[in-house]
């Protein structure tokens, strides 16, 4: 877990540097090596690492718009993921998805920029596992800002009523862009939503990766054994802005300071030292992580840009009936009533 967490943290710090290249002094979102929005997850590593440690390749994970730490913990290839973020041809989706649309069927991972959107596909994966009589599970990660979304609540209901092997993991960083949790829900502990669906709901506080590991072990074991879904909420902290370029003028200084003070990685490092790990062992893990991240970024930057014509490829798996691949005619052909 420590290795995954330091990899994810360093990855976000390096992307932060790369992203800013060429975008300043006046912030130009389309300029530089990483065009478009970028949502970094520094401070949220404990949730991903603690849950994904229990997962296998044939398990499915969906993540929201802040996906890198989850992708890393699920074993998505770092180089191809980075090439995707940099919009390169060898990226996971040929450079056409970008950082919010990472899709890796080999690792069983997908994410989406539409919040709560990962919940229904995770339920679908859970239903497929049940119908096939397999013991794989599906995990949907979402932010606390998504817990009043219909897609989330309907997914909880279907997973419960069909007794599906699905774990919903709310990453509670207390903010949905500039909106604090307390202003959009009176339920401070999002795991209480589980009560309405008669499934277990568990909350883990203090960015505690070890406690997440224990809670996830129980939930995933339960799902694998055919005993249905669990809702898990994990307290995490957003150490950076909502997206790159966010001045965070809405956020009190004390809140930023609290997020910096509650460091999930330092907390786990303390746990490891208490278990007998030496500082230099932890430093070696950090150095290896830095090396792998730097290598992935250098590799990705060397990859070719996609051919502009590739924009027309992979739009449909099969053209739906009535759609022709011939050049469109500009004459009005009339229509049927
Ligand atoms: C359905 C939908 N509504 C609104 C948005 C715009 N949006 C993007 S991120 C976000 C806030 C998400 O907050 P949260 O779920 O807590 O995740 P966090 O950013 O804190 O990780 C919103 C409203 C969206 N992407 N999808
Ligand atoms: Mg949030």
pLDDT in tens, the chain (337 residues): 999 999 999 999 999 999 999 998 888 898 999 989 999 999 999 999 999 999 999 999 999 999 999 999 999 999 999 999 999 999 999 999 999 999 999 999 999 999 999 999 999 999 999 999 999 999 999 999 999 999 999 999 999 999 999 999 999 999 999 999 999 999 999 999 999 999 999 999 999 999 999 999 999 999 999 999 999 999 999 999 999 999 999 999 999 999 999 999 999 999 999 999 999 999 999 999 999 999 999 999 999 999 999 988 887 776 667 766 666 565 555 554 4
How far does the centroid of ligand 1 lie from the alpha carbon of residue 291, in Å? 32
How far does the centroid of ligand 2 lie from the alpha carbon of residue 118, in Å? 15
CA distance 5 to 286: 9
CA distance 33 to 97: 15
Say what the pLDDT of residue 328 is.
Answer: 59
Beta carbons within 8 Å of 217's beta carbon, 6+ residues apart:
54
Beta carbons within 8 Å of 189's beta carbon, 6+ residues apart:
203, 233
Residue 134: strand, helix, or coil: coil
Q: From atom 13 of ligand 1, which residue's Cα is the shortest distance away?
A: 176
How far is CA 198 from each of CA 157, 171, 294, rounded to the nearest angstrom? 9, 21, 46
User: Closest ligand to 173 CA?
Assistant: 2
Say what the pLDDT of residue 313 is.
Answer: 86
How far is CA 328 from each of CA 318, 323, 324, rounded to the nearest angstrom? 18, 10, 8
Contact 237, 209 (CB under 8 A): no
Which atom from ligand 1 is nearest to the alpha carbon of 41? Answer: 21
Residues within 5 A (CB) of ion ligand 2:
143-145, 173, 175-176
Tell me how many helices (H) and strands (E) the chain has: 10, 9
**End-to-end Cα, the chain, rounded Å:** 62
Say what the pLDDT of residue 334 is.
Answer: 53
How far does the centroid of ligand 1 lie from the alpha carbon of residue 154, in Å? 18
Beta carbons within 8 Å of 213's beta carbon, 6+ residues apart:
1, 49, 50, 53, 54
Q: From atom 19 of ligand 1, which residue's Cα is the shortest distance away?
A: 176
- Using alpha carbons only, give the angle 262, 218, 8 rounded to the nearest 5 degrees: 40
Query: In sequence order, what DSSP letters do the residues of 145-205 get, joined into one string?
Result: GGTT-HHHHHHHHHHHHTT--EEEEEEE-SEETTEEGGGT-S-SSGGGGGGGGTS-EEEE-
Say what the pLDDT of residue 84 is.
Answer: 98
- The one-character DSSP state at 325 is S
Task: Confirm or reject: Cβ of 32 under 6 Å from ligand 1.
Answer: no
How far does the centroid of ligand 1 lie from the alpha carbon of residue 149, in Å? 10
How far does the centroid of ligand 2 lie from the alpha carbon of residue 145, in Å? 5
* Test site for ligand 1: of 41, 44, 64, 65, most ligand atoms within 8 A of the Cβ: 65
* Test site for ligand 1: of 8, 68, 176, 234, most ligand atoms within 8 A of the Cβ: 176
Of 272, 264, 239, 211, nearest to 51 by C-alpha is 211
Could you check whether the bond before residue 5 is cis, i.e. omega within 30 degrees of 0? Answer: no
Residue 111: strand, helix, or coil: strand
Consecutive H or E run containing 109: strand 109-111
* Test site for ligand 1: of 67, 177, 178, most ligand atoms within 8 A of the Cβ: 177
Say what the pLDDT of residue 337 is.
Answer: 46
How far does the centroid of ligand 2 lie from the alpha carbon of residue 241, in Å? 11
Contact 241, 247 (CB under 8 A): yes
Task: Confirm or reject: Cβ of 66 under 6 Å from ligand 1.
Answer: yes
How far does the centroid of ligand 2 lie from the alpha carbon of residue 43, in Å? 12
Say what the pLDDT of residue 315 is.
Answer: 79
* Test site for ligand 1: of 115, 187, 241, 255, most ligand atoms within 8 A of the Cβ: 115
Task: Confirm or reject: Cβ of 180 under 6 Å from ligand 1.
Answer: no
């Amino acid at each position: 877990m420590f290795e995954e967490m330091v990899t994810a943290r360093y990855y976000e710090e390096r992307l932060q540097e790369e992203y800013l290249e060429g975008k300043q002094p006046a912030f130009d979102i389309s300029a530089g090596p990483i065009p478009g929005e970028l949502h970094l997850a520094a401070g949220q590593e404990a949730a991903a690492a603690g849950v994904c440690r229990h997962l296998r390749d044939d398990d499915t994970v969906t993540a929201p718009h802040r996906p890198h730490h989850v992708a890393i913990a699920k074993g998505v290839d770092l180089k191809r993921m980075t090439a995707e973020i940099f919009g390169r041809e060898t990226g996971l989706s040929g450079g056409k998805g970008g950082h919010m649309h990472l899709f890796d069927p080999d690792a069983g991972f997908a994410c989406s920029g539409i919040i709560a959107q990962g919940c229904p596909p995770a339920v679908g994966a859970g239903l497929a596992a049940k119908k096939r009589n397999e013991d794989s599970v599906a995990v949907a990660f979402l932010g606390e800002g998504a817990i009043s979304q219909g897609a989330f609540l309907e997914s909880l209901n279907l997973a419960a009523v069909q007794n599906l092997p699905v774990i919903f993991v709310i990453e509670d960083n207390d903010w949905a862009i500039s909106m604090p949790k307390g202003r959009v829900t009176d339920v401070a502990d999002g795991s209480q939503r589980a009560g309405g669906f008669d499934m277990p709901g568990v909350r883990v506080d203090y960015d505690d990766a070890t406690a997440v590991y224990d809670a996830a072990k129980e939930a995933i074991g339960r799902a694998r054994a055919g005993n249905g879904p669990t809702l898990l909420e994990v307290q995490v902290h957003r150490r950076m802005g909502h997206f790159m370029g966010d001045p965070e003028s809405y956020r009190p200084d004390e809140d930023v300071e609290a997020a910096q003070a509650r460091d999930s990685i330092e907390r786990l490092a303390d746990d490891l030292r208490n278990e007998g790990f030496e500082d230099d062992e932890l430093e070696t893990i950090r150095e290896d992580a830095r090396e792998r991240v730097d290598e992935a970024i250098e590799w990705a930057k060397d990859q070719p840009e996609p051919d502009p014509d590739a924009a027309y490829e992979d739009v449909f798996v099969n053209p739906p009936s009535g759609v022709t691949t011939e050049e469109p005619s500009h004459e009005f052909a009339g229509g049927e009533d």
